[in-house]
Every structure is written in C-alpha cells, then in structure tokens.
Amino acid sequence: QVQLVESGGGLVQAGGSLRLSCAASGRTFNNYAMGWFRQAPGKEREFVSGVSRNGGDRGYADSVKGRFTIARDNAKNTVFLQMNSLKPEDTAIYYCAARNTPSMTTYVFASSNYPYWGQGTQVTVSS
C-alpha cells in the first residue's frame, strides 16, 4: 500500500505557473504508475496527466498539452506536475493517484484503475 500527499497548490493569476508535488510513502514507489487528476466544482473528476513506472511514457489531456509537464523522481518517491500558462478553467482540486502495475513503460489513463489517492490540493487561477 502507498500513501500520497500532494502539495504546491495555491492562487495564481492567469498566465502564471505552479508546480505540484506528490510525495509517496513506502520503498516501492517505482512499482507504481502515477497520475494526476482534477475536479472542478460541479464537474466530474478528469484525467490530467499520467506517467509510467520508469518515467518514459507520459500522457496528457488535450486541454493541458503543451502547458503541463509530468515528471517523477523515483529516488525521492515523488511525482511532479509543472503547470505553465495557467487559465481560469484550470481551477480545480488536483489529486495524485497511484497504481501498482507490472508494466514499466505504460501510463494509466482511467481513474477507475487507480486504487490509491491523495487528499488533493486546491489550484485557483484568477482572470
């Protein structure tokens, strides 16, 4: 089992940047594919980005491609989400998720495939 703690959220003006971090407990972080999801008020949780166990395979929602970058540091048990050129529509609670998977090279897209979740961090982008 893994426990996840997100940090780095906050209030930023449109066009600004934030870097989210997700720290994982345990010694087997590199057994987990990692993902970032977000949920805005009144909306369903949606996929933002995912990264494979070895960091080589990354996926992004169309709405964030070219603006967000996911990365992981397996030595520090941490996954990051660098968010640039933020827009008001990026306002949401951002969640980190983990899935233990045998595949080293494939990220996981569907939220239903992630059994482990963090508590979330609020990102608010003002116009």
Cα 118 from chain centroid (whole Å): 10
Burial-class residue 101 by CB neighbours within 10 Å (0-12, 13-18, 19+). middle
More confident residue, 108 or 65: 65
Mean pLDDT of 71-84: 97
pLDDT at 104 exceeding the cut of 90: no
pLDDT at 125 exceeding the cut of 90: yes
Mean pLDDT of 102-127: 93
- Separation CA 81–CA 61 (nearest Å): 13
CB 122 within 8 A of CB 39: no
Cα separations in angstroms, 79 against 7, 43, 116: 11, 25, 14
CA atoms within 13 A on the CB side of 15: 1
